[in-house]
Amino acid sequence: MNSKIERLIKQFARLPRLGARAGQRIVLSLLQDKTGRAESLANALMDAAATIRPCPCCGVLTDIDSGACEFCRDASRANGQLCIVRDLSDVWVLEKTAIFHGRYHILGGLLSGAAGTMPDDLNIANLSERVKNENITEVIFALPNTVEGKTTQHYVMSVIGTVPNVRFSELASGVPLGGDLDYLDDGTLSLAFGARREI
């Protein structure tokens, strides 16, 4: 096989949930396309890679030119609620349900001895400050219902500590054990969010 094509296939094959066969199909389809899709993809990728960074406040990926992300800039979201999630895909899932209209905080992972994820690996350095400065009254944990999720939740609660007038809540038991948020249908997630319980 041509070495340039081989290199491309390897790049695609490494992407999440793809593999060698999917990589081959994608590369073939791109290289045989006559409408310039390969160039558009390459340009969009270069542009995003050069300009998209985590929001310094909450961790949502955003355009570096805008400073803070769309959620942190939106004053109508300063309603005292802060939802803590593992990653950006959880924000997208929650936004689809439209049940939440506060601010987010992305941890960027979960504590895990097995995976070697330690507290320093999580995006928590500014979390207590956020809770105080943004007048947060409810911290909502929307983390996976796993041992790692619960361990992380307890750790984050200890980091935030006791701030007057702040209560903590977690999603109701509609989230199945071991379940990631993005495996839930919108209805189940909305129910679990609406029926969240104080902890």
Q: Which of the stretches 69-77, 109-117, 148-156, 179-187 binds Zn ion when contact is defined by CB under 5 A? A: 69-77
What are the DSSP calls for the chain, one per residue?
A: --HHHHHHHHHHHTSTT--HHHHHHHHHHHHH-SSSHHHHHHHHHHHHHHHEEE-TTT--EEEGGGSS-HHHH-GGG-SSEEEEESSHHHHHHHHHHT---SEEEE-SS--BTTTTB-GGGSS-TTHHHHHHHTT--EEEE---SSHHHHHHHHHHHHHH---TT-EEEE--TTS-TT--GGGS-HHHHHHHHHT-EE-
Pick one of 8, 9, 26, 69: the residue that binds Zn ion (CB under 5 A): 69
Pick one of 27, 57, 136, 191: the residue that binds Zn ion (CB under 5 A): 57
82 near Zn ion (CB under 5 A): no
Pick one of 9, 26, 58, 122: the residue that binds Zn ion (CB under 5 A): 58
Q: How far is the CB of 149 from Zn ion (least distance, A)?
A: 22
Q: How far is the CB of 54 from Zn ion (least distance, A)?
A: 8
Q: Which is nearer to Zn ion, 60 or 131 (CB)?
A: 60
Pick one of 8, 26, 27, 55: the residue that binds Zn ion (CB under 5 A): 55
Residues lying near Zn ion in the complex (CB under 5 A): 55, 57-58, 60, 69, 72
